[in-house]
Every structure is written in structure tokens, then in C-alpha cells.
Amino acid sequence: MAWVAGDQLQGGKYTIERKLKTGRFGINYIAKNKQHDFLLLKTLDVNSLTSLNQLEKERLETMFMREAVKLTLCQHEHIVKFYEPFKEAGYSCLVMEYIPGETLDKLGKISPEEALIYIQQIGAALTIVHQHHLIHGDVQPENIILRAGKSEAVLIDFDLVLDFDHELTTRRVRENVEGFASLELCTKNTKPTAASDIYSLAATFYYAITGQLPETALKRKIDNKRLIPPQELISSISNELNLAILKGMELEAKNRPESIELWLKLLNSNSHNANAESQNANAKNQNVNAEGQNTNAASHTNNGTENKPSVNWDKRMQILTLVITAIAAFGALLQGIASWNSQTTPPPNPTSTKK
């Protein structure tokens, strides 16, 4: 099955615009409704699954429609919106929100602070999914899209999000990008659980802040390959955050946090500790700056004190000069008065002689 641009579904309710990608279980399309809104159309093509017998195909199709109905109940700002399931020409379809933007894998390496925002948002979305007894099963950077122009991460491409208690919930590693799949997603006769999504989300966090794919679960288990702690690749993250990521990526599901909420609390507490450390560091810097300012002030005070004698001596010299000048002027004035008096005094009368 492959619809082409212009094909109309549900009596003209939806019109195919173009094909996006082909997965193991079907094809994704961009379509428009009668209001010309863009939508995403996910299909299930059981006829292409040659590895399944007819009974398994019927069961898978039934599960697809059942899970599609459940997904319409998972309403959350960080989950792609699911509108309605329907059947067209024998094929099962699910209409979803179309989100313009870039997927997380296109950003490359980002700061731990920015990555933590997105991981917390997707963690909140997975909480809703798990509350409805569903799993995503394919959490990875390629399936997290950032709304254009916003710092909002949205979980997309649920593919076949199947119930916990069914044997067909088992996914093979070929359906996942290596490095993001937990051990139970890579081995036969195992069922993924909420812990599987925790592993994948922790691995996504690992990739976002280091820019490197983590070692695969299979190689860690079979070949005893070492998972390089993220702190060895990016030294700026705290010890607590480093341990929280590694805890989420424990090989055995039983060793991971029991729920996505508990893992998020672990991340949040580590984030608060990191913020507290940052605040303490800032406080220390402020104290150092204050001490520096006090030292400068003291230095200015000392400089002022050292300069004062020089200023006082100059003033004293000026006053002394004025005093000396005044004394000299006064002396000259006295001499002038004395000279004037000597010139204005009449000469004495001569003594007369009797004959």
C-alpha cells in the first residue's frame, strides 16, 4: 500500500500531501483536512509483514486499533496529539498532530541545562503514557521534536505502542537505534516495561549532553563492554547528575528506578543540588569581590592618609609666605611713617643774647 499526493480518504475528509517515511509496520504521511490544517497520518500495513501468520496479523491489527484508541486519551502538552483512528481500504490508520520543527538528534551536543529541560518534559509525557498502561518502546532523539520557535519538546512516533501484557510488545533492536534500546528490547522472550522507557530516556540524555552514542546494552551484556560515564566525556556535569543517568541505564530493569516519576525526582534533586552548588559558588565569588572592594577602599583610605601631610605642608608654606610678606609690608610701612615724621618736625629756635 502506498497512497500518493491528492488521494482522498474518508470521503474527502483527509487529503494526502506527501509520504514521509516507511517503517516496519507501515507508512507515515502528511495530509490535510477540509480546513487545510496539516496532519500526520500513520498507517498499519499488516500485509507487508511476511514473517507473521494470518492469525498474528489479525491480532496485531486489532491491537493497533485498540492502542490507537488509548493513545487518544493520552492528552499532554509534550505528547503529539492523537485525533482519531479509522480504516481505509482495509488498512488501519491513525490521525495525529503534525508538528513543524527539528528533532533532538539534529541539535547535536547541547548544554546539560538545556538537555535537562527537554528530558524533564518528555519524562512528564511518559508518565501519562505509563498511567494508561502503555509504553513508547522507541524513545530516542529522533522521536523527540522541538516545536519551531519554542523550547518545547514533544514525544512523537509511538509506532506500535503496545500493552504491557502481550507477547507482541517485544521489540527487536533493529527497530531501535543502537544505544537507546534497553536489554529487554534486544532479547527474545522478554517484555518491555516502563523501565524500558526509562533506559531509553536516560540514554537520550546521555547522547544530548555528550554528543556520543552510549555503548549498546547487548555489547555491555555479552561482550562486557564498558559504558563510559558521561562525566568522563563532559567534566562540567555534577557527580549526582552523572550517577542519575547511569542509574537510569542500568542493564537489568530491576536495578532502575521503579517508575519514570522516581527517576525524574532523582534528576530534579540532583539539579537542585547543582543549582545550590552554583549559588554557593556565586556567593563565594561575591564575598571575594566584597573583600576586594574593602581592600580597595582601605587602600584608597591609606593613600588619602599618606597624601594629607603633603597637602597640609603646602598649605602651611603658603600661610607662612603670606605672614612673612605681611610682616615685611608692615615693617616698610613703619619705616615710611618714621621718615615722614622726621621731615615735618620744625627746627628749634636760636637762643637770644643780651647786650
Name every residue whose Cβ is closer than 8 Å to that of residue 84 and which is 6 or more positions away in sequence.
72, 94, 95
Contact predicate 336/344, CB 8 Å? no
Question: Strands, E, within 161-315: which ranges?
Answer: none
Q: 319: which residues sit within 8 A by CB, 6+ positions away?
A: none
Look up the pTM and report it. 0.72
Domains observed in the chain: 1-98 (3.30.200.20), 101-281 (1.10.510.10)
182 grid coordinates: 534497553
pLDDT 10s digit of each residue in the chain, 355 long?
A: 679 999 999 999 999 999 987 766 778 899 999 999 999 998 887 666 677 788 878 888 887 888 788 888 889 999 999 999 999 988 889 999 999 999 999 999 999 999 999 999 999 999 999 998 888 888 999 999 999 999 999 999 875 544 433 344 444 444 447 899 999 888 777 888 999 999 999 999 999 999 999 999 999 999 999 999 999 999 989 999 999 999 999 999 999 999 999 999 998 876 655 554 445 545 555 555 555 555 555 555 555 544 444 445 556 666 666 666 667 666 666 666 655 555 544 544 444 444 3
Quote the DSSP letter at residue 152: -
